[in-house]
Amino acid sequence: MSRTVYVNGEYLPEADAKISIFDRGFLMADGVYEVTSVLGGKLIDFEGHALRLQRSLSELDMVEPLGRDELLEIHRELVRLNAIEDGMIYLQVTRGSAGDRDFVFPDPETTRPTVVLFTQDKPGMADTPVAKVGIKVISIDDIRWGRRDIKTVQLLYPSMGKMMAKAAGADDAWMVEDGQVTEGTSNNAYIVKGNKIITRELSSDILHGITRAAVLRFAREAQMEVEERSFTIDEAKQADEAFVTSASTFVMPVVEIDGAKIGTGAPGTVAPRLREIYLDESRKAAI
Ligand code: PDD
């Protein structure tokens, strides 16, 4: 079934949606994005995603094309028009098209950002059987740029990382810089030792995950200990459990790293519990 998508103020069938070949998102990866999940027809963590979008735009000196209320309205309208019960909403904002190719940013007064939103229908995604068995990851060098806290559309290396994982018979990759894990290709990375959850501290080295913020809050509320610091692949291999978080996977156990089983090689107790708490609380707070 053809989706209805949003492009610069219009709701259109996907086949009719068009942007310029001079769009800077296409030519320069000069754009930012957000991914918000939908459960039971409602938006999960919308406020966090809207705030991070605002921050990404401001860090790149891009104008904010839409306020929080308009953004919410568009997300809800796409959920309605595409009858999404469970799924994802992708939002991309680029610096637009000045009608030619130029490294220099165009004048924001005359070149407006391009705003695109589209949906992915994923019925029952919170009940994916993958969460019961967990995923396998490999480690790869983190060769991305230094502003990973900005959610840009420069996703070539994360795509390559997923391809490397696939070629190695794994599901995803954890990236390593100066011997320490930064994050997954499209998620934040965690290990568990005893009652302690360890995940890299926030900095420009990683994306400040919206799911990460919520999961750490719920973990602390559930009296689990949280340590925000970096860790090595060797430490991860010795951990009791490992997991990742993101808007699309929620909390997902990691059961193997570079071929080494984590714990028993099956999901432990902490990650599944956090997944359950996160899904319960997020559904309650969904708008
Ligand atoms: N990825 N780190 C990276 C590099 C990411 O791309 C993502 C999200 C996260 C987790 O952030 P959040 O919890 O806000 O989703 C961490 C999205 C889901 C994607 O690119 O599809």
- Which domain-ending residue is among 84, 100, 123? 123
What pLDDT, on the 0 to 100 scale, is given for residue 82?
98
Q: Side-chain half-sphere of 182: how many Cα atoms within 13 Å?
A: 24
Percent of the chain whose predicted confidence (pLDDT) is above 90: 99
Nearest CA to ligand 1 atom 17: 186
Token representation of residue 66 = 């839409």
- Which domain-ending residue is among 101, 123, 145? 123
> Do 18 and 85 sit in the same domain of this protein?
yes
What pLDDT, on the 0 to 100 scale, is given for residue 279?
98
Percent of the chain whose predicted confidence (pLDDT) is above 70: 100
> Do 140 and 276 sit in the same domain of this protein?
yes
Annotated catalytic residue 151? yes
> Do 119 and 196 sit in the same domain of this protein?
no
Question: What pTM was estimated for this model as a whole?
Answer: 0.97
Atom from ligand 1 closest to the CA of residue 49: 14
97 lines ligand 1 (CB under 6 A): no
Question: pLDDT per residue over 104-126, tens digit each?
Answer: 999 999 999 999 999 999 999 99
Please give the average per-residue pLDDT across 235-249, as a whole number.
98
Show the domain range for 161: 130-285
d(CA 74, CA 208): 24
Instruction: With a cut of 90, say whether residue 81 has pLDDT above it.
Output: yes
d(CA 95, CA 72): 21
Helix or strand run (H / E) with residue 212: helix 210-221
Q: What are phi and psi of 251, to 5 degrees?
A: -120, 120
What pLDDT, on the 0 to 100 scale, is given for residue 1?
72
> Do 85 and 153 sit in the same domain of this protein?
no
Going by their DSSP bridges, the two strands 114-121 and 4-7 should be labelled as antiparallel
271 Cα–ligand 1 center, Å: 18
d(CA 277, CA 279): 6
Number of domains comprising the chain: 2
Instruction: With a cut of 90, say whether residue 141 has pLDDT above it.
Output: yes
d(CA 108, CA 61): 9
Q: Quickly state the pLDDT bin for 284 (edges 50, 70, 90).
A: very high
Instruction: Map tokens 């998620």 to a residue.
Output: 187
182 lines ligand 1 (CB under 6 A): no
The rounded Cα 282 to chain-centroid distance in angstroms is 16
Instruction: Map tokens 């080295």 to a residue.
Output: 205
> Do 104 and 229 sit in the same domain of this protein?
no
CATH code, domain with 207: 3.20.10.10
DSSP 8-state symbol, 112:
P
Instruction: With a cut of 80, say whether residue 251 has pLDDT above it.
Output: yes
Q: Which of 122, 151, 261, 284 is an active site residue?
A: 151
Nearest CA to ligand 1 atom 11: 209
Instruction: With a cut of 90, say whether residue 48 has pLDDT above it.
Output: yes
What pLDDT, on the 0 to 100 scale, is given for residue 206?
98
Instruction: Map tokens 């998102």 to a residue.
Output: 25
- How does the average pLDDT of the chain come out, rounded? 98
55 Cα–ligand 1 center, Å: 15
> Do 111 and 136 sit in the same domain of this protein?
no
Please give the average per-residue pLDDT across 178-194, as a whole number.
98
What size, in residues, is the chain? 287
What pLDDT, on the 0 to 100 scale, is given for residue 177?
98
Higher pLDDT: 195 or 175? It is 175
> Do 119 and 134 sit in the same domain of this protein?
no
Going by their DSSP bridges, the two strands 10-13 and 31-39 should be labelled as unpaired
